[in-house]
Chain A
Amino acid sequence: MTGNPSLHLWLIPLLPFLGFLLNGLLGRHLPKALVSTIALLFTAAPLALVAGIALRFRSLPLPYIERTAMPWIITSAFRADFAFMLDPLTLVMLLVVTGVGFLIHIYSVGYMAHEEGYWRYFAYLNLFMFFMLILVLAENFLWMFVGWEGVGLASYLLIGFYFLRESAASAGIKAFLLNRIGDFGFLLAMFLMIAHFGSLSFNRVFTAIAEHPQMQGGFLTAIALLLLLGATGKSAQIPLYVWLPDAMEGPTPVSALIHAATMVTAGVYMIVRSHTLFDRSPFALGVVAVIGAATALFAATVGMVQTDIKRVLAYSTISQLGYMFLACGAAAYSAAIFHLVTHAFFKGLLFLAAGSVIHALGGQQDMRAMGGLRKATPVTFWTMSAAVFAIAGLPPFSGFFSKDEILYQTFLSPTAGPILWLVGLVTVLLTAFYMFRLWYLTFFGASRAEPGHEHPHESPWVMLVPLILLAVLSVAGGWIGIPRALGGNDQFAHFLDPVLSPPSPPSYEQIRITMNEQGVARAAEASTPQAPARPAGNDNQERLFSVLSVVMALAGWFMADLLYRRKPAMAHQLAQRAGGAYGLLLHKYWIDQLYNALIVVPLLFLTRYLLWGAVDSGIINGGGSAAAGTVRGLGALVQRVQSGNIRSYAGWLAIGAAALLLLTYFGFSMHV
């Protein structure tokens, strides 16, 4: 393509797949040490490859596209390749997926050490890495969809890892089904793209859009909204978010990797990847922003009252993903990806630390039975504190920079605006509140542990090292994108500029440079501004916004401090005083029950009585029975001929001969 030596991008996803095959096929018979060695090796290798690419990234011609020799699907009107693409956005995602993925693999070695099905766990985890890397590296929507479905599969398998527990099995099914709804939207969006562009290749589709400035709204809005439906499924946004809290039935490292750091951010990645499309449809962007803001606020309120440590984190994840969607909706894509990265660090860390806490208490997940763990598990405490401060958005931790960027961009954006900014700001307060609540309930005060677990123990080092590394990233991860107003120079945004900068993505034009010069001229002509105009902010304003959000976060911290450290009784009083609202939050706004009543029950009714009772039992089964009955009746009739009586056979023979004779006679006479 470019004459450069091949980067062998295909190796990156394939290596974890080999690990999956080895562990999946042979793992049952291998010792645990070998299983974990295989799993770690085949996760470390892609990390090394990605790191190698990152080191010489500046010297690479971008975007770099790699196709396998064989096309995948080829028809007269449509073609799809096994194509991989590398550009700054891909690189960021690759680093997050392989880096955090590798750390969580290490952690899992310690966490899962005493579990049944050790090999199965690591096989699934490697399978997940395989699909996630395909999703990130794919160069067309179809290939991306393969990864998209595959991570859903891996997620399903891992949520239902303890499949003997019914709640885990049904949580897996729930996640899978809700994701199907989203995938349905993704599929329809792809069909529309094939219909309008004749291709699913990112390059082709986005170039086609860039070349036709007159394309605004219309079918692009339809495609964008359908893609958004897909993203809400995968990234657990309203209305399809309900699977994520239940997904906590899986092992905790899985929650960290799949349901916090990587897979659930796939929706954000997909929207950012197809931002050219979204840019042309302000309406779709507005919908994205509203969904994001609503989800952020909604999930944060639910997270405030949950007592299961993992559920708090699950709702927090939904809420933070809402922030990312809000950023996407504000067309601040680099802010979305920035938050995706920092979120991968601190939320991965939060889950791993929560896992360490659960481990220390022998499987206890209820925060009401925790407390006072600061002394017993110092490393877990300090690392988790870093994550808590990061997610709460206190400077100079990573979450502060990314969240601030999102809020500021939201305020400026014409598609989002001040109202959504206010929602985001309130969510900052709630976020700080529920995170510090978790922090106080878990680590401070007197121990409320159940008998038998009064002496919690710190986790082994194999679990603590990933915690420490992630803690460092949670603290410092944000420094790559310090905005200009705060003394940095927006490095992260500049790094992503080639992919995201409006008007038309010049990166896609670069391929055309290598292909033919005329194409460039044409593309250059066509490049017109398309993103909704964004008023430029000034530095002072940005600083003011930062101060505001820090004040909100501190207020949240203060409230949590008041309610859960200084006056623990007050929390109960408050809960009783606001009984209705508290109950509403505690039961997650009854959304599960609402969905159950509105969708599941009618659907089951329809299935059981109409489809099963009438169609299946009546028509399909009945048709079969009728056919069988007819044949049986005929058989009973004809059976009588086979009497076993020789003379009756002879009689039939004679009758047959006579009949033939008559037939011959009259047959001939008729013709003659």
Chain B
Amino acid sequence: MNETNGPVITAWSAVSAFGVGRDRFVAGLRTGRAPAVALDHAEWPAPVDKACLVPATGPRDLLGPKGTRSMDRATALAVAAVGQLLAADAGGRRPEAGEDTGLVLGTSTGSVRSIMTFTRDSLTQDRPYLVDPARFPNTVMNCAAGRSAIWHGLHGPNVTVAGGRPSALLALNHARRLQRGRQARSVVCGAVEEFSAERAWLDWHTRGDDELAVLMGEGCAVLLLETDVADDRPGLAEVAAIEVGLATDAEDVGPVLAGCVTRALAQAGVGPRDLWAVAPSGAPGRYGDQERGALGALLAPGTAQLHCMDLLGDTNAASSAFQIAAVLAAAQEAAEPSSRAALVTTVDRDGVIGCAVLRIAGTA
């Protein structure tokens, strides 16, 4: 575990279309695709008939009645996922996540439903200020991170990052830098995305014809990132490298991703043919084609492939968090005595491209 001395992922959890918690996620990956829900258009006035939803009716269902009256779905997904992560297997709070723990959470645009509903009220009520003040904080994009900190008593740096599908990799990089700069020790990091009719309409207006086949998804996956982990507690995986770049158009995605992967593997000291598994974003359309092409040219044909988007739908900002979770889940399912490396790649139509190399701890 000590070849590049990156920080270590010591725990993870997920609230996904497979259900609440890590065990549901692991079991779900075993069985394959998450069930798509037929949308009740009275509840979800969206231009799609099906989506991969977290099986919970709302914040109250996930977290109980107290403190959830004005909470939005994205915030509830994050609060629930962080709660799952911080719960020790033996009960109570994980001791390694003290009250100075930081939180870095990825998002696309917070809750566009909260923002648009609030604005709609202003435009349609008798007076433009007749908006619900209790829901104003939901319209600010750091709401999920701030409320998660309040709910769970996390007083360390509390950061929200936005970067589309790569958001969780950007969050992981941010967390790593906070640790290097001695701003934080333990950091919870991950990303969240909610499904809503508003998001579905924005998506419907902006998707290319070659991107229509994928269902929309949602959820939140989070990791606990620690430094200076004692040798007797090796953790699950070391974050050996993260590389991020920017493509100006779809044709640029493959070369930029290839550059990122090459640099990341070199940093991690891993040969492209020595990877145990790769979890690509699996984005639909030209961006995904470029990702497939770049990885096909770089990696050995037998590298195990983990495809989250096929299983969970397009979870947008949460997608790279789920990809990391899938790598950790698969590693847990097929534990091996020696360490091995996995690659996570992500591409986004706004142009941010990235990858991470994780070195999975061996059992020996």
Q: Do A and B bind each other?
A: no
A residues apposed to B, CB below 8 Å: none
B residues apposed to A, CB below 8 Å: none
